[in-house]
Structure 1
């Protein structure tokens, strides 16, 4: 007698499934991911902003420790920029560089995707990485120069906004550029209304973070999240036009673009 086949996973993933998927795929934290199906991907990407908040708070803590030990704003800024990279094994930065190489090549979609999949980094990727990391460090240094709390809020806002745009890019109607990989696993997994509602909620939460400093900072933090979303959407549109959809590299590029935009906006005024 043959054994009965194992039952299929339920059509709806639990909150625990989503949290494990989110932290297991978007960070290096040792989380056992039990499900890799579409319901788990949908639930996981809905938790992506929470992952960003955790990463942002870790970045703020690193900067705060150095400031408490007597360092200046610049070393604290470097630490806060380095922690998100460390917590993601640099995958988002690598995705940013690969996307820059693919888009910068000017080649047709198939060739651009092949360039993005190569392990080496080309001149467009190197230049983009240098400019983005310099912008992040400079922004953190400016904000830590004002106070640790402003730098900490900026880290939280940037982390939230950066992962919320990843959820937004997973909305239905945004196709994968190639079959296979994380991009194909999560592309189109989140209902569009839910994704946009979560993006709006993220803007409100970021505004709430800034409210600790007054009404002006509440507006500024909300605007930082809003403009970060707009910048990521412009990049997403470009990737859809040039590549035909999203890949794992594109998600990394969206994340870093949003984080950098949010940080730069927070230095204004």
Structure 2
């Protein structure tokens, strides 16, 4: 599949971007929610990628809502989990899943960086991409079904935590020092824009907020929530480093893969214990 972020407008000269500009950038690029992007430049990208977890919060709440409603209406946890997993795909036009498949094909191609990037831009999905999609969606559905079976609160908190962590992984991948693999697309627009101290502060704040949200379920649940965020970010960091070595940088597809991997890892950790 192609990197759908590669048709974005050119980057205008840099200047300071406001918080509303950044919020519109985050929601306009990472969701289908109505948000008209008023600026497409490095400062807007910097603020926008720092606001990415807010977009994840909106996606997580909207994903959890139909799952919880199904449970309250008497549905089983498996159906509720399947709908919750499908909702983020609809809210992102499937771009993150597209990125996961393309990145898996690129990594599995055993080709040099330039050839692997060409493979990732193709419109078809190879065997590695298919396997990655099946494994990730099955894992997410199975984990959420187990959590929903415990209670609708557990499932809803897990969906929100996973969605926020997924976008936080994108924020960390856009930190200073991470290069773009090619000159065009979202990867080039956001690579290296987020200061490291901002990325670190956002990661710490998200872990603490996840723990606080889960604390009413008990201290073990709060500890699991913290572990879910941190271990998911660790998994995303390992994939990020692999992609930077393999492709000489990041692309829009890599950002999508990081989001899906971190969401899956967070959900798995939340089922443990």
Which TM bucket (shorter chain)? over 0.9
Contact 2:14–2:41 at 8 Å: present in 1 too? no
Deviation at 1:9, TM superposition (A): 7.3
* Equivalences for residues 113-262 of structure 1 within 5 A: 113-262=117-266
Tell me the residue number matched to 1:107: 111
Distance 1:153 1:99, change over 3 A: same
Distance (Å, rounded) in 1 between the aligned partners of 2:219 and 2:235: 24
Gapped regions of structure 2 (runs ≥ 5)? 1-11
Contact 2:22–2:46 at 8 Å: present in 1 too? yes
Deviation at 1:193, TM superposition (A): 1.4
Aligned residue for 1:173, secondary structure, equals coil
Deviation at 1:203, TM superposition (A): 1.1
Contact 1:171–1:187 at 8 Å: present in 2 too? yes
Distance (Å, rounded) in 1 between the aligned partners of 2:146 and 2:167: 23
> What TM-score results when the alignment is normalised by the length of structure 2?
0.94
Gapped regions of structure 1 (runs ≥ 5)? 1-7
- Aligned residues between the structures: 262
Deviation at 1:206, TM superposition (A): 1.2
* 1:47 corresponds to 2:51: yes
Q: Which runs of 4+ in 1 moved over 6 A?
A: none
Contact 2:24–2:36 at 8 Å: present in 1 too? yes
Match of 2:81 among 60, 77, 81: 77
Larger gyration radius, structure 1 or structure 2: 1
> What TM-score results when the alignment is normalised by the length of structure 1?
0.96
Distance (Å, rounded) in 2 between the aligned partners of 1:181 and 1:89: 17
Deviation at 1:30, TM superposition (A): 2.0
Contact 1:13–1:39 at 8 Å: present in 2 too? yes
